[in-house]
Copies of this chain bind each other. A is one copy, B any other.
Amino acid sequence: MASSIIRTTNLSSLPSIPALSSTSSSPFSSIHLRSHHHGAVSLCTAEKFRVSCSISDSSPLPSHSHRRRPDYIPNRISDPNYIRIFDTTLRDGEQSPGATLTSKEKLDIASQLANLEVDIIEAGFPAASKDDFEAVKTIAETVGNTVDENGYVPVICGLSRCNKKDIETAWEAVKYAKRPRIHTFIATSDIHLKYKLKKSKDEVIEIARNMVAFARSLGCEDVEFSPEDAGRSEREYLYEILGEVIKAGATTLNIPDTVGITLPSEFGQLIADIKANTPGIQNVIISTHCQNDLGLSTANTLSGAHSGARQVEVTINGIGERAGNASLEEVVMAIKCRGDHVLGGLFTGIDTRHIVMTSKMVEEYTGMQTQPHKAIVGANAFAHESGIHQDGMLKHKGTYEIMSPEEIGLERSNEAGIVLGKLSGRHALKDRLNELGYVLDDGQLSNLFWRFKAVAEQKKRVTDADLIALVSDEVFQPEAVWKLLDMQITCGTLGLSTSTVKLADSDGKEHVACSVGTGPVDAAYKAVDLIVKEPATLLEYSMNAVTEGIDAIATTRVLIRGDNNYSSTNAVTGESVERTFSGTGAGMDIVVSSVKAYVGALNKMLGFKEYSSTLRKIPSDANKVPA
């Protein structure tokens, strides 16, 4: 059974936000916190407030009190200023090298995206593998059926290439959602037509038209079409193919800058031109999808919205292939801070207070760490050198801050004052975890409490960062096939590094092995290999101390590739892609945490293997949620 976790936000722990907010009259009077327990979804509500950015004393913002998320109709938005947020972390983001997610991780992230209240979740590419298919289906059945009291439920979208088999598979996966969408694409630039597709322009139009019509014929009323590499496509041809797919029934037209080459003025012009010249465009939604190869994806996305796009495709932390995509947090906060002043009143429905937690979860699960100076969510984004704190910051927050950290769910470090120690009890631990947004079940809390006490015995102060590291280590772990029981190590400059490890298998049977190596980690991993006998290559290894001080808890991340091939299909090229698996481990002994991370990655790989073979026995249309 997969472990489960409820994430909530204890609003009483949030400091009050000064000025400019339009709390009382907001129609958004509650938030809905979701949790998934194997298909069942529990809801809890809490009072909610909305805040605006404090840009400058001299220019107060207009009230947003009359703004609310318009009812969802696939091809139309009743409020002309509303921007739909289409999150593709689970599809485009997961294509990042090494970012492979398990089904459980995908479901956790999808639940968190629903907490953020994104309009559309692109949950995956169902034709890529059985595993991808099941992940999308499970998300459609659960997160895609959790309607809150304001009627919000995310659209669940599946990607497909322009062929019948892909589209059928996508529909089989998403059709269980309240609001299912199929997203199909084909390349339209000369360079792709010539070198990749080897098809004529007319042939490509014919395929696009037929496949959009086919998706509609299956009963899908929400069909998105993307002309791949639109940024480099011939303009007249683009108008023509887009006009044809509108006639065939497409409801959203997504314009990708596939190679990330356009500048904002150029991309904005492209959207404006499409809006002005495509027959029937007034009956559909225009969408942006900007790659970040020149570091311009956020600007291009905003420029597209300013020119008439009303859906923007983004990922958490901006992850994705190469330099990634436009990041949700940058686009959303730019619209929130500047939508009224500069973008003609544009707004989104995102509950920004879940940004930090979502960012951390995606960082943890994908292993794609954000740089300290990443905008909005980087470790330094709200850190000022002490001098400024003492001066400008204290004199007036607005001198150097354009938004408050609380808006994105970040507590100011000097306000996170509660520190637990070895005398703290189970209740204090539970309360603090709740305040941090974690609700654990009793079994999880028991395991965590035991580890918390062990840490508190050795460290004077157990900080929030320590707790979060422990929760990640205890709760965000794959199913255990192998479990580390004990280990001992001798190393240094003087002799041969030697390690002994004791692992338990899934039946609880104990296995012991020892090995020498070039260092303590090499020795320990070799000893693990002697027991597990599942050959793997270590691709990446990294470690961070999450807390200050020499006695810190360190978190290790590893990325491995199985020497026996584990693969799925690449959405864009259709070719087989080798999967890689990450693992994390936390602890005060870096060698022990390194071994935990490795065992975790091996468990993830073995789970993928077992899951894939199980699936072969289940018909793809079976209406059953795998545990």
Contact = CB atoms under 8 A, between A and B. Distances in A.
Interface of A: 55-58, 95-97, 189-192, 194-196, 229, 232, 258-261, 263-266, 292-296, 298-300, 302-303, 306, 318-324, 327, 330, 333-334, 337-338, 342-343, 368-376, 378, 380-388, 390-392, 395-396, 398-402, 458-459, 484-495, 497, 500, 517-522, 525-526, 537-545, 548-552, 554, 569-570, 572-578, 587-592, 594
Contacts of A548: 537-539
A497 B589 contact: yes
Given A266-B338, A322-B383, A519-B589, 15 more contacts: A56-B189, A57-B191, A97-B372, A196-B396, A294-B337, A295-B318, A319-B373, A368-B373, A388-B570, A388-B572, A388-B573, A493-B592, A518-B589, A541-B543, A541-B544
B550 A538 contact: yes
A550 B522 contact: yes
Instruction: Output the residue of A487, A572, A574 with the most chain B CB within 10 A.
Output: A572
B371 A518 contact: no
24 contacts: A56-B189, A97-B372, A191-B399, A195-B396, A266-B342, A294-B333, A294-B375, A319-B373, A320-B373, A321-B385, A323-B376, A323-B381, A371-B371, A387-B569, A390-B573, A392-B572, A487-B492, A487-B494, A488-B490, A489-B489, A492-B500, A537-B549, A538-B545, A538-B549
A519 B95 contact: no
B385 A570 contact: yes
Contacts of A55: 232, 261
Contact of A371 (B334, B370, B384, B485): B370
Nearest to A342: B263
A303 B537 CA distance: 46
Contact of A521 (B56, B192, B369, B590): B590
Tell me the number of copies of this protein.
Answer: 2
Contacts of A259: 400-402
A56 B493 contact: no
Given A299-B264, A570-B385, A58 B190 contact: yes
Contacts of A318: 295, 373
B545 A544 contact: no
A491 B595 CA distance: 13
